[in-house]
Amino acid sequence: MKVTIIGAGAMARGIGSRLIAGDHKVTLHARNIEKAGLLAAELQERSVHNRAIEVRLVGAPVEDSVVVLAVPYDAVREVIEDEYGDKLAGKILIDPTNPIDFEMMELVTPPGRSGAEEIVELLPFEASVVKAFNTTLAGTLIEGKVDGKPLDVFIAGNDARAKVVVTELVTDGDMRPFDVGPLSRAHALEAFQLVHIKLQDQLKATWMSAIKILP
Ligand SMILES: NC(=O)c1ccc[n+]([C@@H]2O[C@H](COP(=O)([O-])OP(=O)(O)OC[C@H]3O[C@@H](n4cnc5c(N)ncnc54)[C@H](OP(=O)(O)O)[C@@H]3O)[C@@H](O)[C@H]2O)c1
């Protein structure tokens, strides 16, 4: 599959690592081309399949059918409304963002609402928003495992076909997908991750922990 990642930060590195592990074609869209170029070179070096990773300036046309919004929650509106607009029409939009105020350590969305549902409201066109990867810490995605066990990736969305596509990407990247239901369930996933982040001090896991369902 061909996947565009918007962003060149920690989650672009993590999700990009899993996508290339699954032999998918990755294009990075970034504000800082030099930074994205370095990330592309790093991903390519790690790729056993030796696939080229392309780099484009943010806002470039999107040829791929799957797009990962690997940007801060606060940047999503700008990305959708100002930078891309209908270039995202018809795409599967993977939303790994967490709407967290890191000073207050609370969700900034109204009770019961998710950032993922806000994204749907921002779109003046049809696209399939799928919440995924918001509970997997970026560093753990590099190997796709914690403690020798594959990461669990929780997937929420209203479009069954889009969820099948995301499920395939997760499986190909040697992780374990869970369909947790409709997009309204994204709120639970975002709250889940808030708790996970709040536990980092107690875990002393240096941001290398994972939310895992056993067995
Ligand atoms: N880090 C984690 O462990 C983790 C885990 C789960 C979910 N998440 C979520 O994943 C998302 C990305 O996190 P991250 O850790 O990758 O953040 P990050 O390392 O700060 O990277 C964010 C990227 O977004 C880019 N960006 C910011 N504003 C933009 C805009 N308006 N248009 C285009 N690109 C823009 C930044 O560009 P520049 O490089 O130019 O600054 C940067 O490349 C966040 O919503 C976060 O909540 C993170």
Q: Could you give the CA distance from residue 71 to residue 73 in angstroms, rounded to a whole number?
A: 6
pLDDT of residue 125: 96
Average pLDDT of the residues in 38-42: 98
* Fold held by 2-203: Rossmann fold (3.40.50)
CA of 6 to the centre of ligand 1 (A): 9
CA 74 to centroid of ligand 1, rounded, Å: 10
Q: What is the pLDDT of residue 89?
A: 98
What is residue 53's three-state secondary structure? coil
CA distance 100 to 168: 28
Could you tell me if the CB of 154 is within 6 A of ligand 1?
A: no
CB of 32 closer than 6 angstroms to any ligand 1 atom: yes
Residue 74: pLDDT over 90:
yes
Q: Assess whether pLDDT exceeds 90 at residue 13.
A: yes
55 lines ligand 1 (CB under 6 A): no
Does the model's pTM come out above 0.95? yes
Question: Domain locations in the chain?
Answer: 2-203
The predicted pLDDT at position 205 comes to 83
pLDDT recorded at residue 185? 98
pLDDT of residue 29: 98
State in Å: Cα 171 to ligand 1 middle: 23
Taking the CB of residue 135, how many other CB atoms lie within 10 A of it?
Answer: 22
Banded model confidence at residue 46, pLDDT cuts 50, 70, 90: confident
Of all atoms in ligand 1, which is nearest to the CA of residue 69? 11
Encode pLDDT of 92-145 as tens digits.
999 999 999 999 999 999 999 999 999 999 999 999 999 999 999 999 999 999
- CA 45 to chain centroid, in Å, comes to 21
Q: How is residue 76 written in tokens?
A: 């999503």
